[in-house]
Amino acid sequence: MDNFINPQLKETSDKSFTLVHPIYNQTYHSINGALTESVCVFISAGLNYLVEKNNHKINILELGLGSGLNAALTLMFVQQNPNTTVNYYSLEPYPISTEIAEKLEYWKMLDDVNSKSNFLKIHSSPFDQQNQITEFFTLEKSRTNFLEYHSKEQYNLVYYDAFSPQSQPELWTLEAFAHLNTLMITGGIMVTYCAKGEVKRNLKQCGFLVESLPGPPGKREMIRATKQKDN
Protein backbone atom coordinates (compact mmCIF):
# COMPACT_ATOMS: atom_id res chain seq x y z
CA MET A 1 0.00 0.00 0.00
CA ASP A 2 1.08 3.54 -0.61
CA ASN A 3 0.85 6.93 1.09
CA PHE A 4 1.51 5.86 4.66
CA ILE A 5 3.32 8.05 7.15
CA ASN A 6 6.07 6.63 9.29
CA PRO A 7 5.62 7.84 12.89
CA GLN A 8 8.01 7.02 15.73
CA LEU A 9 6.83 4.99 18.73
CA LYS A 10 6.92 6.49 22.23
CA GLU A 11 6.21 4.76 25.53
CA THR A 12 3.83 6.59 27.90
CA SER A 13 3.48 6.52 31.71
CA ASP A 14 1.03 3.60 31.85
CA LYS A 15 3.42 1.52 29.66
CA SER A 16 1.19 1.77 26.57
CA PHE A 17 2.77 3.13 23.41
CA THR A 18 1.74 6.12 21.40
CA LEU A 19 3.05 7.58 18.13
CA VAL A 20 4.73 10.87 17.23
CA HIS A 21 3.30 12.42 14.06
CA PRO A 22 6.14 13.22 11.61
CA ILE A 23 4.43 16.36 10.24
CA TYR A 24 2.83 17.86 13.37
CA ASN A 25 5.61 16.59 15.67
CA GLN A 26 2.95 15.84 18.32
CA THR A 27 2.16 12.67 20.25
CA TYR A 28 -1.15 11.01 19.37
CA HIS A 29 -2.04 10.63 23.06
CA SER A 30 -1.06 12.01 26.43
CA ILE A 31 2.43 11.01 27.55
CA ASN A 32 0.82 10.50 31.00
CA GLY A 33 -0.77 7.31 29.65
CA ALA A 34 -2.15 6.67 26.17
CA LEU A 35 -4.45 3.80 27.11
CA THR A 36 -5.60 5.53 30.32
CA GLU A 37 -6.46 8.70 28.39
CA SER A 38 -8.42 6.88 25.66
CA VAL A 39 -10.45 4.92 28.22
CA CYS A 40 -11.21 8.02 30.31
CA VAL A 41 -12.11 10.44 27.50
CA PHE A 42 -13.65 8.32 24.77
CA ILE A 43 -14.92 5.12 26.38
CA SER A 44 -16.04 6.21 29.86
CA ALA A 45 -17.23 9.77 29.14
CA GLY A 46 -18.49 8.92 25.62
CA LEU A 47 -19.47 5.39 24.69
CA ASN A 48 -20.28 4.05 28.15
CA TYR A 49 -22.20 7.22 29.00
CA LEU A 50 -24.48 6.73 25.97
CA VAL A 51 -24.95 3.01 26.57
CA GLU A 52 -25.91 3.70 30.18
CA LYS A 53 -28.55 6.09 28.84
CA ASN A 54 -30.00 3.16 26.89
CA ASN A 55 -28.52 3.88 23.46
CA HIS A 56 -27.58 0.55 21.96
CA LYS A 57 -27.17 1.41 18.27
CA ILE A 58 -24.39 3.93 18.04
CA ASN A 59 -22.96 5.76 15.03
CA ILE A 60 -19.51 7.00 15.95
CA LEU A 61 -17.45 9.54 14.02
CA GLU A 62 -13.77 9.76 14.93
CA LEU A 63 -11.39 12.53 14.00
CA GLY A 64 -8.81 10.80 13.26
CA LEU A 65 -8.07 7.06 13.40
CA GLY A 66 -4.32 7.43 14.11
CA SER A 67 -2.97 4.46 16.06
CA GLY A 68 -6.41 2.80 16.15
CA LEU A 69 -6.42 2.73 19.96
CA ASN A 70 -9.85 4.40 20.34
CA ALA A 71 -11.28 2.08 17.68
CA ALA A 72 -9.78 -1.02 19.37
CA LEU A 73 -11.16 -0.02 22.78
CA THR A 74 -14.58 0.62 21.25
CA LEU A 75 -14.54 -2.77 19.55
CA MET A 76 -13.58 -4.45 22.82
CA PHE A 77 -16.41 -2.62 24.60
CA VAL A 78 -18.87 -3.94 21.99
CA GLN A 79 -17.53 -7.49 22.41
CA GLN A 80 -18.19 -7.19 26.13
CA ASN A 81 -21.64 -5.57 25.66
CA PRO A 82 -23.23 -7.66 22.92
CA ASN A 83 -26.53 -5.76 23.11
CA THR A 84 -24.66 -2.76 21.62
CA THR A 85 -24.03 -2.27 17.89
CA VAL A 86 -21.47 0.28 16.70
CA ASN A 87 -21.00 1.65 13.19
CA TYR A 88 -17.61 3.35 13.42
CA TYR A 89 -16.58 6.00 10.87
CA SER A 90 -13.05 7.24 11.15
CA LEU A 91 -11.26 9.99 9.25
CA GLU A 92 -7.54 9.81 8.69
CA PRO A 93 -5.69 11.85 6.06
CA TYR A 94 -2.36 10.38 7.28
CA PRO A 95 -2.87 6.63 7.78
CA ILE A 96 -0.18 4.38 9.26
CA SER A 97 0.79 0.99 7.82
CA THR A 98 -0.25 -2.30 9.46
CA GLU A 99 3.48 -2.90 10.14
CA ILE A 100 3.69 0.22 12.33
CA ALA A 101 0.35 -0.62 13.97
CA GLU A 102 1.65 -4.08 14.87
CA LYS A 103 4.53 -2.53 16.83
CA LEU A 104 2.05 -0.84 19.20
CA GLU A 105 1.02 -4.25 20.58
CA TYR A 106 -2.13 -2.83 22.16
CA TRP A 107 -3.73 -6.30 22.24
CA LYS A 108 -1.29 -7.24 25.02
CA MET A 109 -3.04 -4.70 27.26
CA LEU A 110 -6.60 -5.44 26.16
CA ASP A 111 -8.75 -8.00 27.90
CA ASP A 112 -10.09 -9.67 24.76
CA VAL A 113 -8.90 -12.92 23.17
CA ASN A 114 -9.58 -11.63 19.63
CA SER A 115 -7.97 -8.28 20.12
CA LYS A 116 -4.82 -8.90 18.03
CA SER A 117 -6.63 -10.02 14.89
CA ASN A 118 -9.34 -7.39 15.34
CA PHE A 119 -6.76 -4.64 15.86
CA LEU A 120 -4.87 -5.62 12.71
CA LYS A 121 -8.16 -5.72 10.77
CA ILE A 122 -8.83 -2.13 11.83
CA HIS A 123 -5.65 -1.11 10.03
CA SER A 124 -5.67 -3.53 7.08
CA SER A 125 -9.32 -3.12 6.07
CA PRO A 126 -9.87 -1.05 2.93
CA PHE A 127 -10.78 2.63 2.93
CA ASP A 128 -14.07 4.03 1.59
CA GLN A 129 -16.21 0.97 2.23
CA GLN A 130 -18.05 -0.49 5.17
CA ASN A 131 -16.03 -3.35 6.72
CA GLN A 132 -17.79 -5.85 8.99
CA ILE A 133 -15.08 -6.39 11.61
CA THR A 134 -17.28 -8.39 14.01
CA GLU A 135 -20.99 -9.17 14.17
CA PHE A 136 -21.76 -5.94 16.04
CA PHE A 137 -18.99 -3.61 14.82
CA THR A 138 -18.54 -2.13 11.36
CA LEU A 139 -15.74 0.21 10.33
CA GLU A 140 -15.62 2.72 7.49
CA LYS A 141 -12.36 4.64 7.07
CA SER A 142 -11.86 7.74 4.96
CA ARG A 143 -8.79 9.81 4.17
CA THR A 144 -10.92 12.96 4.12
CA ASN A 145 -10.01 16.06 6.13
CA PHE A 146 -12.72 16.60 8.76
CA LEU A 147 -13.45 20.12 7.47
CA GLU A 148 -14.32 18.69 4.05
CA TYR A 149 -16.22 15.66 5.32
CA HIS A 150 -19.89 15.28 4.39
CA SER A 151 -21.92 12.21 5.09
CA LYS A 152 -25.37 10.77 4.71
CA GLU A 153 -24.91 9.47 8.26
CA GLN A 154 -25.85 11.41 11.38
CA TYR A 155 -23.69 10.68 14.41
CA ASN A 156 -24.75 10.28 18.00
CA LEU A 157 -21.16 10.09 19.28
CA VAL A 158 -18.08 11.97 18.04
CA TYR A 159 -14.57 11.25 19.24
CA TYR A 160 -13.01 14.66 18.61
CA ASP A 161 -9.36 13.61 18.79
CA ALA A 162 -7.57 16.24 16.70
CA PHE A 163 -4.15 17.54 17.68
CA SER A 164 -4.27 20.47 20.11
CA PRO A 165 -5.59 23.95 19.23
CA GLN A 166 -1.97 25.12 19.16
CA SER A 167 -1.04 22.56 16.47
CA GLN A 168 -4.29 22.52 14.50
CA PRO A 169 -6.14 25.78 15.27
CA GLU A 170 -8.44 25.35 12.25
CA LEU A 171 -10.10 22.31 13.87
CA TRP A 172 -11.22 24.16 17.03
CA THR A 173 -12.88 27.25 15.52
CA LEU A 174 -16.51 28.34 15.28
CA GLU A 175 -16.50 27.17 11.65
CA ALA A 176 -15.23 23.70 12.59
CA PHE A 177 -17.85 23.29 15.34
CA ALA A 178 -20.66 24.62 13.14
CA HIS A 179 -19.66 21.92 10.67
CA LEU A 180 -19.52 19.32 13.46
CA ASN A 181 -23.04 20.34 14.51
CA THR A 182 -24.41 19.52 11.02
CA LEU A 183 -22.98 15.98 11.23
CA MET A 184 -24.66 15.12 14.57
CA ILE A 185 -28.16 14.19 15.71
CA THR A 186 -29.84 16.35 18.34
CA GLY A 187 -28.89 14.93 21.73
CA GLY A 188 -25.71 13.45 20.26
CA ILE A 189 -22.45 14.04 22.11
CA MET A 190 -18.86 14.85 21.26
CA VAL A 191 -16.03 14.13 23.67
CA THR A 192 -12.52 15.54 23.62
CA TYR A 193 -9.46 15.63 25.87
CA CYS A 194 -9.19 19.38 25.30
CA ALA A 195 -10.69 21.77 27.86
CA LYS A 196 -9.50 25.18 26.67
CA GLY A 197 -11.79 28.11 27.50
CA GLU A 198 -11.94 29.27 23.89
CA VAL A 199 -12.93 25.79 22.73
CA LYS A 200 -15.77 25.70 25.27
CA ARG A 201 -16.96 29.15 24.17
CA ASN A 202 -16.89 28.19 20.49
CA LEU A 203 -18.85 25.00 21.16
CA LYS A 204 -21.49 26.91 23.15
CA GLN A 205 -21.87 29.45 20.34
CA CYS A 206 -22.47 26.59 17.91
CA GLY A 207 -25.41 25.19 19.88
CA PHE A 208 -23.73 22.72 22.21
CA LEU A 209 -24.32 22.26 25.92
CA VAL A 210 -20.79 22.01 27.35
CA GLU A 211 -19.83 19.96 30.41
CA SER A 212 -16.37 20.06 31.97
CA LEU A 213 -15.55 16.63 33.38
CA PRO A 214 -12.51 15.43 35.30
CA GLY A 215 -9.75 14.68 32.80
CA PRO A 216 -7.25 11.83 32.53
CA PRO A 217 -3.92 11.92 34.45
CA GLY A 218 -2.10 15.21 33.82
CA LYS A 219 -5.30 17.04 32.77
CA ARG A 220 -7.65 18.67 35.22
CA GLU A 221 -10.59 18.69 32.81
CA MET A 222 -11.97 17.34 29.55
CA ILE A 223 -15.09 18.30 27.56
CA ARG A 224 -18.33 16.54 26.76
CA ALA A 225 -20.61 18.60 24.50
CA THR A 226 -24.22 17.76 23.66
CA LYS A 227 -25.96 19.04 20.53
CA GLN A 228 -29.06 20.84 21.75
CA LYS A 229 -31.38 21.44 18.82
CA ASP A 230 -31.99 20.62 15.17
CA ASN A 231 -30.22 22.67 12.52
Ligand X SMILES: C[S@@+](CC[C@H](N)C(=O)[O-])C[C@H]1O[C@@H](n2cnc3c(N)ncnc32)[C@H](O)[C@@H]1O
| Interface residues toward ligand X, by CB under 6 A | 21, 28, 63-64, 66-67, 69-70, 91-94, 145-146, 161-163
Q: How far is the CB of 91 from ligand X (least distance, A)?
A: 4
Identity of the residue, 51 or 101, whose beta carbon is nearer to ligand X in the bound complex? 101
Let me know: does 172 contact 165? Beta carbons within 8 Å. yes
Contacts of 148 (CB under 8 A, 6+ apart): none
Q: How far is the CB of 89 from ligand X (least distance, A)?
A: 11
3-state secondary structure of 8: strand
Identity of the residue, 43 or 162, whose beta carbon is nearer to ligand X in the bound complex? 162
Q: How far is the CB of 148 from ligand X (least distance, A)?
A: 8
Rg (CA), the chain: 16
Taking CB atoms, the residue at the shortest distance from ligand X is 66
Identity of the residue, 98 or 186, whose beta carbon is nearer to ligand X in the bound complex? 98
Identity of the residue, 21 or 187, whose beta carbon is nearer to ligand X in the bound complex? 21
Q: How far is the CB of 132 from ligand X (least distance, A)?
A: 21
Vertex 61, ends 14 and 94: CA angle to 5°?
A: 70
Q: How far is the CB of 5 from ligand X (least distance, A)?
A: 8
Identity of the residue, 21 or 179, whose beta carbon is nearer to ligand X in the bound complex? 21
| Other residues' Cβ atoms within 10 Å of the Cβ of residue 112 | 16
Which amino acid appears at position 195 of this protein?
A
Q: How far is the CB of 90 from ligand X (least distance, A)?
A: 8
Contacts of 53 (CB under 8 A, 6+ apart): none
84 vs 50, 55, 112, 190, CA distance in Å?
A: 10, 8, 16, 19
Identity of the residue, 122 or 206, whose beta carbon is nearer to ligand X in the bound complex? 122
3-state secondary structure of 231: coil
Contacts of 180 (CB under 8 A, 6+ apart): 158, 160, 190, 206
